[in-house]
Amino acid sequence: MGEINNVIEVKNLVKKYGAFDAVKNISFEVKKGEIFTFLGPNGAGKTTTVKILTGILKHSSGNVKILGLDAAGEMDDIKKRIGLVPDQPYIYPYLTAFEYMRMIGDVYGVCVEEQKKKIPELFEMFDLERRRGEIIDSFSHGMKQKLVISGVLLHRPEIMFLDEPLVGLDPKSARTVKDLFKKLAENGTSIFMCTHVLEIAQKLSDRICIINGGEILALDTFENLSKNVSVGADLEAVYLNLTAGEN
Ligand SMILES: Nc1ncnc2c1ncn2[C@@H]1O[C@H](COP(=O)(O)OP(=O)(O)OP(=O)(O)O)[C@@H](O)[C@H]1O
Ligand SMILES: [Mg+2]
């Protein structure tokens, strides 16, 4: 199996909920090692797209390839190689943080030696070490979010999907996550995230995809996006200009 350039290839993707088109014929690619950001108003179709790319939802039509595999028929193989941090960290409330991590490690076939080494490292990084023996139900939203991120990092996915990963994180944790994304991407992990935080999209992303009403309005580097609006425009100006009248 050769090295692939585009870890995600989406062609003419459509998602209908009944008669409503939540995603309307979108196409894009994500490169290996790229930080790719979906930005758009509430209801734009971001979460719907992430759910399709991670096998939670089936698309209505179009083609989706992840790591060269077809999402329509090879999702089981794809799922072993990707990680998802969903917008709501719904996780087993009665496991302790440590039990949760061991379960994730076992499900993804991470050897026990590596689990024993990595779990404390991840807990240290996210200030969870002290709470490792407590049940998840007793965790705050941000702590659950950090635990889900730790779980994904434990199995080293080739693509990380993160839907609003920084919602609820305190400034120090947000910093940790931002630094981590950069490091992961440098080492070849691809990152697909949805965010409303313009500053993060602007500073972190290699490319930004602005989506609204299920359609892609623009997809480019921040530098190129801002050139089209005005000299010195920041992402807020670009975003408001493109989504004018919507949000
Ligand atoms: N299960 C569902 N059944 C019907 N319509 C749905 C369903 N899930 C989402 N939608 C609709 O699809 C559209 C896209 O929703 P989606 O959750 O993808 O938006 P989003 O871009 O993630 O928004 P947000 O920024 O608020 O998270 C919305 O109009 C939403 O109401
Ligand atoms: Mg969403």
Closest atom, ligand 1, to C-alpha of 87: 27
Domain end among 113, 136, 156: 156
Of 26-40, 78-92, 144-158, give the lowest mean pLDDT range: 78-92
Q: Is the pTM of this model over 0.85?
A: yes
Give domain status of residue 86, yes or no: no
Regarding whether 164 and 76 lie in a shared domain, the answer is yes
Q: What domain range includes position 102?
A: 91-156
pLDDT of residue 247: 47
Long-range contacts of 65-70 (CB under 8 A, 24+ apart): 65/6, 65/8, 65/9, 65/10, 66/7, 66/8, 66/159, 67/4, 67/7, 67/158, 67/159, 68/1, 68/4
For the chain, the domain total comes to 2
Regarding whether 14 and 61 lie in a shared domain, the answer is yes
37: domain CATH number is 3.40.50.300
- pLDDT at 167 > cutoff 70: yes
In sequence order, the 6+-apart residues with CB closer than 8 A to the CB of 232 are 226
Hey, whose CA ends up nearest to atom 17 of ligand 1?
47
Hey, whose CA ends up nearest to atom 27 of ligand 1?
42
Task: Tell how far the Cα of 194 is from the centroid of ligand 2, in angstroms.
Answer: 7
- Going through 104-181 in order, the beta strands assigned E by DSSP cover 159-163
Regarding whether 67 and 165 lie in a shared domain, the answer is yes
Regarding whether 172 and 74 lie in a shared domain, the answer is yes
Hey, whose CA ends up nearest to atom 12 of ligand 1?
22
pLDDT of residue 2: 63
Helices (H) and strands (E) in the chain, counts: 9, 10
Give me the chain's average pLDDT, please: 92
Distances (CA, A) of 186 to 4, 33, 110, 182, 190: 16, 6, 22, 6, 9
User: Of 168 and 14, which is predicted with more confidence?
Assistant: 14
pLDDT of residue 53: 97
Regarding whether 241 and 175 lie in a shared domain, the answer is yes
Give the residues surrounding ligand 1 with Cβ less than 6 Å away: 17, 20, 22, 40, 42-48
Regarding whether 149 and 163 lie in a shared domain, the answer is no
Regarding whether 188 and 148 lie in a shared domain, the answer is no
